[in-house]
Amino acid sequence: MSSNHVLLDDKTQKLLFREARTANTFTAEPVGEEQIQALYDLVKWAPTSFNQQPVRVALIRSEEAKSRLVPLMWDTNQGKTAGAPLNAVLAADLEFHENLPEQFPVFPQAKDVFFAEEEARVESALLNATLQIGYFILGVRAVGLAAGPMSGFYADKVSEEFFPGGRHRALLVVNIGKPGPDAWYDRMPRLAYDRVFTSH
């Protein structure tokens, strides 16, 4: 299923996409801080609107922090969350615009022109933080780890627990580690091209 239009070699295509799988179990092997730093140093270059970079990440490693996260996951996600050596809680900073003059120096007024109004700001923060979460998931794979993304958790409680103060919204929790035994389901079907794309 490789393609000569794709410029990535087969090994990379498999690592990031074709053979990468959502892991539901993990080994106990720890994930090093330097692996996550390397991941970020790669994926931080991917684009966001006005270079706004609203994603914020709480890394959950300690038993104490895990004991606060696990009960805030839906029942079906508690076991795998507890079993992963690292969990990342990925959130949007809804006040990202405060940094914007630094992040988008070509038009520092963007902070006030486009994002003074809360509704537009929140919508943009959610869109761009979620794009960054997509980049992050592929980044986990790029450093040779398995990702287990989960949207099933009590978002308001997770936001308050790990990003207190009300300016962040937790969007996804990702389990990270080396896959354990029986780590995944059978591969599930993907929509055919013609069901996704229309030409105009």
Residues 129-168 close enough to bind a second copy by CB under 8 A? 130-135, 137-138, 142-144, 147, 149-152, 162
Q: Does 13 bind a second copy (CB under 8 A)?
A: yes
Give least dist CB 61 to a second copy, A.
Answer: 7
Select the span of 37-45, 77-85, 175-183 touching a second copy (CB under 8 A).
37-45
Q: How far is the CB of 95 from a second copy (least distance, A)?
A: 13
SS3 80: helix
Alpha-carbon distance values, 120 to 86, 111, 131, 136, 165 (Å): 33, 11, 17, 24, 20
Interacting stretch for a second copy, rule CB under 8 A, among 77-85, 97-105, 175-183?
Answer: 97-105
Cβ closer to a second copy: 131 or 180? 131
Binding of residue 82 to a second copy (CB under 8 A)? no
CB nearer to a second copy: give 26 or 104. Answer: 104
What lies within 8 Å, CB to CB, of 2 at 6+ separation is: 10, 13
Neighbours of 25 (CB within 10 A): 19
Q: What angle do CA 36, 85, 163 make, to 5 degrees?
A: 65
